[in-house]
Structure 1
Amino acid sequence: MDIVFSPCPNDTFIFHAWANGLIPNAPKLNVTYADIDITNKLAESGDGPDILKISIAALPWVHESYGFLPSGGALGRGCGPLILTQNVKKSVSLAGKKIAVPSERSTAYLLFRLWLSQHVPEGVKEICVLPFHEIMPAIRDGKIDAGLVIHEARFTYPSYGLRSLVDLGDWWEKETSLPIPLGGIIAKKSIDRNNIINWIQSSLDHAWKHPSASKSYVMEHAQELDWKVAQEHIDLYVNSFSYSLGVKGCYAIMVLLERAMEKNLIPPVNFSSLLINQIPINIK
């Protein structure tokens, strides 16, 4: 069974047991590690692997052969994307500036556009897409004015001499009182998705019961090689929503996509072919 997810600690922590053959009766996984921009494009093409980790914001473009799963994703509080700039004392306006984002289909970028519509109605000068590990060096070196970062960058940006201009997760939580939906797992509908959910949950159960077992696997793939940072990353992004979205998690996704549709930032969402937490979702 082919799967693609990021090399980030939260994904490798969740899938370590399954990827290493530790889940009884689960099929062998052929793992490809890829940046979120790549996985989002694979999902949109419809020619991707059996299982994919994608951005929640990419769901409107998911090919009809895929269904969304309630387990294995990233959703929580205090874990949102940051807008970073150089660490200067003067106030910074993003109007007319060049901004780097990790993917045009990322949830981070969708949140950024929702925030811009409220706070920078005149817009920015240019949006460019960079792999997320290249964004902070580009800000530091003055190649871009600001950047949208995710994952372990929340912990490491001060080492680049940068500052956080806006915490979009904090903004989202104050706006909605909901957790922030970042990423999720999709699987081809030709596969029994209930089995996949069970295998993901079994893999996560193993990770929680044996927290040190995945350390070498996590660090083998982590772009930030400091174990303390990797552990902070796991603690922040792997939580009860990773095991199962539940009603609150599903509602958070609906609110995000509804707001984006109201601003014409995404096409109309037809959830008739997607199933979230065994609950059909229809957004009008």
Structure 2
Amino acid sequence: MTITGTDIDTRTLTLGFSPCPNDTFIFHALVSGLVGAEGLAFRERLEDVETLNRLAGEAVLDVTKVSYGATPHLVRNYVLLRSGGALGRGCGPLVVARQPFTAEELAGKRIAIPGRNTTANLLLRLFAPGAAAGVEMVYSDIMPAVERGDVDAGLIIHESRFTYPQHGLVKVVDLGEWWERTTGLPIPLGGILARRDLGADTIRAVDDAIRRSVEHAFAHPDAWKDYVRAHAQEMDEAVQRQHIDLYVNRFTADLGDEGVRAIHELFARAGAAGIIAEDVPSPFL
């Protein structure tokens, strides 16, 4: 949609991200108009990550957060931005259960997963190739399902890594820890895509605007709190702060060379395992 103003034409782009504290922290300044790009406005759509993966598969949104695990399937229509993503150390998905069991026993378990195309599920498939296809659920439903005994184990993401003991659950394996130990690289969890047909100039402007939105959030620590609180699944402010501190870091403003290497390594391992095509083109502009 284009809105004609007195001096410039403003193009409104749809922007998808999750209601998790790290995403609302990152995008608050952008969607609130505190930072921006000349000639562009943004209309947000907040969905869980697997819904965003699906919408990107249908090329519905102009700019969107997605799982890095889904990105190889989306590069025909989208390019990956350098800002706004979630990479880091000590922040990977966990497999949890009511009672402890060994990682080798995963193959025989019924495991709830937060989506077929999530990075978490890709990591699980790389770690335990013999594991059965998981039971897909919205991520916030996984721990209650494990607690009730509906499934044997759950693959948890986001703030669940802080709260699973409150559900009487124990950690079976930390997939991020495994990734870091075997690759020496940060774990790439989720990134921001922009439609190729926006054009290179607009894509670069969006990338720059998201970077400045991240910088604004760090520089103005009280500005985003109400927005984060309004959308958080976990309402405890201490958990919200833990979540932001864990998932928003130096890679969020810019991937840097190390972040780019981590993404390419994830794709290479998935290709070698036959999970994705081995000749996926570079996702970057």
TM-score normalised by length of structure 1:
0.91
Q: For residues 4-35 of structure 1, what are the alpha-carbon distances to aligned partners after superposition, in whole Å with 9 as ceiling and x for unaligned?
A: 11000000000000111111545332111001
User: Are the aligned partners of 1:152 and 1:229 in contact in 2 as well (CA < 8 Å)?
Assistant: yes
Q: Secondary structure at the match of 2:16?
A: strand
Query: What is the aligned counterpart of 1:66 among 62, 66, 78?
Result: 78
Calculate percent identity across the aligned residue pairs.
46
Task: In structure 1, give the amino acid aligned to 2:214.
Answer: L
Determine the structure 2 residue equivalent to 1:139. Answer: 146
- Give 5+ residue unaligned stretches, structure 1: 118-122, 279-284
Q: For residues 224-268 of structure 1, what are the alpha-carbon distances to aligned partners after superposition, in whole Å with 9 as ceiling and x for unaligned?
A: 000100000000000010000011100001111101111101123
Distance in 2 (alpha carbons) for counterparts of 1:109 and 1:89: 20
Distance in 1 (alpha carbons) for counterparts of 2:175 and 2:196: 33
Determine the structure 2 residue equivalent to 1:111. Answer: 123
Q: Secondary structure at the match of 1:53?
A: strand
- Give 5+ residue unaligned stretches, structure 2: 1-12
Moved over 6 A (4+): none
1:102 equivalent in alignment to 2:114: yes
Q: For residues 36-65 of structure 1, what are the alpha-carbon distances to aligned partners after superposition, in whole Å with 9 as ceiling and x for unaligned?
A: 11111111122x111010011111110522
Tell me how far 1:91 sits from its aligned partner.
Answer: 5.5
Gap change, CA 1:91 and 1:77, over 3 Å in 2: closer
TM-score normalised by length of structure 2:
0.90
Determine the structure 1 residue equivalent to 2:275. Answer: 265
Tell me how far 1:3 sits from its aligned partner.
Answer: 0.7
Determine the structure 1 residue equivalent to 2:255. Answer: 245
Q: Secondary structure at the match of 1:2?
A: strand
Gap change, CA 1:190 and 1:91, over 3 Å in 2: closer
Determine the structure 1 residue equivalent to 2:23. Answer: 11
Distance in 2 (alpha carbons) for counterparts of 1:124 and 1:24: 45
RMSD value over aligned CA atoms? Answer: 1.5
Query: What is the aligned counterpart of 1:148 among 155, 169, 192?
Result: 155
**Residue-pair matches, total:** 268
Distance in 1 (alpha carbons) for counterparts of 2:128 and 2:68: 19
Task: In structure 2, give the amino acid aligned to 1:49.
Answer: L
Q: Secondary structure at the match of 2:142?
A: helix
Determine the structure 2 residue equivalent to 1:235. Answer: 245
1:222 equivalent in alignment to 2:229: no
Distance in 1 (alpha carbons) for counterparts of 2:100 and 2:186: 32
Determine the structure 2 residue equivalent to 1:33. Answer: 46
Task: In structure 2, give the amino acid aligned to 1:129.
Answer: E
Determine the structure 1 residue equivalent to 2:58. Answer: 45
User: Are the aligned partners of 1:68 and 1:186 in contact in 2 as well (CA < 8 Å)?
Assistant: yes
Determine the structure 1 residue equivalent to 2:204. Answer: 194
Q: Secondary structure at the match of 2:106?
A: coil
